[in-house]
Amino acid sequence: MGSITRSLANNITTSGVILPAGITNSSVSAVTSFANASGGGTLVLLSTQTASASATISFTTGLDSTYDEYIFKFINVRPATDSVNFEFNMSTDSGSNYNVTKTTTYFTSLHAEDDNETGLAYKTTLDLAQSTAFQPLADRVGNGADESVSGSLTLFNPSSTVYVKHFLSDTNAYLFANYSDNDRSAGYGNTTSAVNAIRFKFASGNIADGVFKLYGVKKS
């Protein structure tokens, strides 16, 4: 029996548990970083912004070629104005203009608190066809003290100078009339220029409060 095997055997209980003495400064505790331990798909938090009576929330740094996929998460984002759409747009000039041409789709499902109404529909009023307008992500968000929208927006390969810029969004909003509303939008920014900034806002009025986070998705 080799010395390593004997040492390990001497530090294992009859129940198969490794004793503290089996972990020494020359083994696990000497490791200060597991930089290569995680594979692709790990989320790396790049920045956080907190809205407070903010006209817009914009991310003008962090979108580059480091990652092929970026995820924005917005948490309890509440409008100052009642029953307004939550929306976003892209920029190719670091935020000087948010006017990327987009073609998109928009589906919604809803359920009333009193159980008197449900719905599932494609909403042609909230999609875009080669438009530079802001794309809605959530419809008719309420501004009550307990009302808000939460969700995520995924942007794929924004730094590409070959492909258009695909995105997917999934949100749930507490509507002004006491509905739970799950909205899903998707589409592409029809540009082969690199997208390097994103802006969120409500169609009318300020963002009363809410938290916005930007993550990069680690490459495999």
Q: Are residues 96 and 172 in the same domain?
A: yes
Q: Are residues 28 and 47 in the same domain?
A: no
Q: For residue 33, how many other CB atoms are within 10 A of its CB? A: 6
Distance (Å, rounded) from C-alpha 22 to C-alpha 20?
A: 5
Q: Are residues 94 and 159 in the same domain?
A: yes
Mean pLDDT value across residues 82-93: 98
Lowest mean pLDDT among 11-25, 33-47, 120-134, 184-198: 11-25
Instruction: Please state the domain count of the chain.
Output: 2
Mean pLDDT value across residues 170-190: 97
Q: Are residues 85 and 121 in the same domain?
A: yes
Q: Are residues 13 and 73 in the same domain?
A: no
| Confidence bin at 150 (pLDDT 50/70/90) | very high
Domain that holds residue 25: 1-32
**pLDDT tens string 20-61:** 555 555 554 555 544 555 566 899 999 999 999 999 999 999
Q: Are residues 118 and 173 in the same domain?
A: yes
Q: Are residues 26 and 135 in the same domain?
A: no
- Res. 62: pLDDT tops 80: yes
Which CATH number is 53's domain given?
2.60.120
Q: Are residues 50 and 69 in the same domain?
A: yes
Q: Are residues 138 and 74 in the same domain?
A: yes
User: What pLDDT is stored for residue 30 in this prediction?
Assistant: 52
**pLDDT tens string 1-18:** 555 555 555 655 665 555
Q: Are residues 54 and 83 in the same domain?
A: yes
User: What pLDDT is stored for residue 219 in this prediction?
Assistant: 84
- Res. 160: pLDDT tops 70: yes
Q: Are residues 5 and 70 in the same domain?
A: no
Q: Are residues 25 and 55 in the same domain?
A: no
